[in-house]
Structure 1
Amino acid sequence: MTSTTSRLLLLLSLLQSRRDWSGAVLADRLEISPRTVRRDVDRLRELGYRIRAIKGPDGGYRLDAGSELPPLLFDDDQVIALAVALQAATVAGAGVEEAAMRALTTVRQVMPQRLRHRLDALQFTAVSTRPDVEEASPDVLIAVSAAIRAGEVLRFDYADGGDAEKAPRRVEPHHLVARQERWYLIAWDLDRDDWRTFRIDRVTPRTPTGPRFVPRTMPAESVQDLVSARFRGSVQGTAWPCNGSVILSLPAWEVLAFAGDGAVEDLGPERCRLDTGSWSWVALAASLGRFDADIEVIGPPELSAACVLLAGRYSAASQGHRSAARRQ
């Protein structure tokens, strides 16, 4: 027979795992009587858990959110996942870094010894790849998220780029997205009649919010696809808007490591074909220079034209350098 404490923890775990439980099913799972279930539920209520009785033929129970945070129960994997998430949150760009570290310290202090050993064995460093990134305010994140959840038009001032003047915007907010340590709002811009992506660190919400709206169908299968397309400069789909093919005088294995999402075809010991894309033809042509090898453009003509344009620019730049050197 389990102790009362163990039984209470198991009962709490069951109540947390799904919305509703009948008293009879709980009694069967815990191998106790329905009367003992009622007593154990009362004990959990005394500890601060809001457990509501459900009326019906069999009766039942539901664990509701309370006004205060009672003791929580996690299994071993959940504790490790929570600790890892808190450590990773120190570079989330959401202005919660200090709070995340304090929470991680608190969680580690109350961990059983076996879990503390597992966590200490999982050593990693969360590194910011963009140390100069502007953090998003937690208050702004909450305000934007609340408007999304309520399905209400969001009004805000937006500092577009480096402009000191903030332009007022009215949008139907759809998704809050974290990408590369920055937070973005995906929304339908009511004034521009199109989907737009807004950096949260440039958003200053206005109150009150506007009227409710019916969510629109996104022009992509998922939020991830939509964000990927927007950052690639693509209007539709997730593919790059400019795609080309070249032959590089390098073995395929050397190119593959730096090809990103491009496709590499082996053409022999010192030759390979690269099919890749970018947001513009000039950007695509410039990106090929990173391979430091002879390039043969297969197509399309726009890529060849971009290479000619860059060649002229680089030639002019080198001429300017030589002229300055002669003057010295």
Structure 2
Amino acid sequence: MTQDLPARMLRMLSLLQTRRTWTGTELAERLGVTLRTIRRDIDRLRDLGYPVQGTTGTAGGYRLAAGTDMPPLLLDDDEAVSIAVALRTATRGVAGIEETAVRALAKLEQVLPVRLRHQVATIQATAAPLSLPWSTGPESDPTVLATLAAACRDHEITTFTYRTSGGETGPRRVEPHALVAADPVWYLVAYDTDDDEWRLFRVDRLTGPTPTGHRAGARELPATDAAAYVAARLAAAPARYTFHATVPLDAKTARARTWSLPGRVHPVDETTSTLALAADNPHHIAEQLLGIDLGPTHTIHGTPELAPHLEQLGKRLLRAADALSRQDKQSKQRAEPQSWHEQ
């Protein structure tokens, strides 16, 4: 039994890190030991500095809480490599996290076993973040994200202050469900207990998230998953400009070429689909339309005020095309051999 103690404690610690609370009976069944052994191992983990909280009794529950110092974390091979990838590539939309992520990655690589160090070194050499023009936007506070993530995991009712798109600020009380990163904007999907409905909150407009200590029962999300819910809500949001058209493309191709949300493109048949584009910035719609052939004009309708913006972009493109055409003609003329009377 003594020889099995270190391995068993490491496995227990790994279990405690995977979810918020375990009952003593669950841990005993997972580890194949008695409840008395579980309680003894928990005491030894506490002596080693791991802040394990729990209640007494045969049905007592245990959880790994936050402490004054961070003890070592246990990661399996896949988790370690996944964290390395995330630290390198998943930092967009989070304020001030780039430098911190690089430091954490260096620490992780330093303690990795040899069998994984090559994999992480390869990732470092081949993967680099690139901020693209269309991926810029508001950044979220990493502390706020961490608080909300824990509340989502633990189904803990949370309060915060929220600023709407119209600038109105007020308190909210919600049951957090999930965080969704919509490159680069982060959204919180939550059930608003005051309005008694599901809501979508932009994390960059959210301040002072505070868990209440009260856990809520699981609610059924009105979508297949959180990402689908966010996509549907964004697609249904009102916008200043709209553009509708039937295009000679299947829905999958039309969506890819216009970078549209799923709810903005609908199939008609295998070769035709409808677009329902919307945006507050007319240039966004104009850019979406550049990748497709719109087909007959009688299938097009939308906000009339959008027309001059599309015309303006069209003229800019024509001027660019005309400049390239003139340049090409001049190059060809210089390359032609001179006639005898010019020599």
**2:237 and 2:218 mapped to 1: Cα distance?**
22
Per-residue deviation, 1:125: 1.8
2:11 is matched with which residue? 13
Matched, 1:151 2:157: yes
2:65 is matched with which residue? 65
Matched, 1:232 2:267: no
Deviations 1:157-207 (A, max 9, x none): x3747xxxx532243445443221222345678999987644333444499
**1:208 and 1:46 mapped to 2: Cα distance?**
28
RMSD: 5.5
Per-residue deviation, 1:111: 0.5
**1:207 and 1:34 mapped to 2: Cα distance?**
35
Q: Which amino acid is the alignment partner of residue 121 of structure 1?
A: T
Give the alignment partner of residue 314 of structure 1, picking from 301, 311, 319: 311
Per-residue deviation, 1:314: 3.0
The equivalences for 1:155-234 within 5 A come to: 155-156=161-162, 158=163, 160=165, 167-175=168-176, 176-186=179-189, 197-205=200-208, 220-234=223-237
Deviations 1:48-82 (A, max 9, x none): 235669644xx999564362322222221121122
**2:248 and 2:109 mapped to 1: Cα distance?**
54
Change (3 A) 1:75 1:21: farther
2:114 is matched with which residue? 113
Deviations 1:229-249 (A, max 9, x none): 2222358xxxxx97642347x
Where does the alignment leave 5 or more consecutive residues of structure 1 unmatched?
236-240, 267-271, 323-328
8 Å Cα contact 1:90/1:101 also seen in 2? no
Matched, 1:137 2:141: yes
**1:71 and 1:312 mapped to 2: Cα distance?**
57
**1:310 and 1:216 mapped to 2: Cα distance?**
44
2:290 is matched with which residue? 290
Per-residue deviation, 1:304: 4.5
1:238 is matched with which residue? none
**1:141 and 1:92 mapped to 2: Cα distance?**
11
**2:90 and 2:109 mapped to 1: Cα distance?**
16
**1:71 and 1:206 mapped to 2: Cα distance?**
27
Q: Which amino acid is the alignment partner of residue 229 of structure 2?
A: L
Change (3 A) 1:10 1:125: farther
2:48 is matched with which residue? 47
**Secondary structure at 1:278 match in 2:** strand
Per-residue deviation, 1:142: 5.5
2:338 is matched with which residue? none
Per-residue deviation, 1:109: 0.5
**1:196 and 1:63 mapped to 2: Cα distance?**
30
TM-score (norm 2): 0.58
Change (3 A) 1:39 1:259: closer
Change (3 A) 1:54 1:151: closer
**1:173 and 1:309 mapped to 2: Cα distance?**
38
2:339 is matched with which residue? none
**1:197 and 1:229 mapped to 2: Cα distance?**
11
8 Å Cα contact 2:158/2:174 also seen in 1? yes
| Matched length | 291
Matched, 1:279 2:278: yes
Where does the alignment leave 5 or more consecutive residues of structure 2 unmatched?
17-21, 320-343
**1:242 and 1:313 mapped to 2: Cα distance?**
11
8 Å Cα contact 2:246/2:274 also seen in 1? yes
Q: Which amino acid is the alignment partner of residue 111 of structure 2?
A: V
**2:100 and 2:81 mapped to 1: Cα distance?**
18
Q: Which amino acid is the alignment partner of residue 151 of structure 1?
A: I
Deviations 1:133-172 (A, max 9, x none): 332223444666688765355334x3747xxxx5322434
TM-score (norm 1): 0.60
Per-residue deviation, 1:115: 0.8
**Secondary structure at 1:295 match in 2:** coil
1:75 is matched with which residue? 76
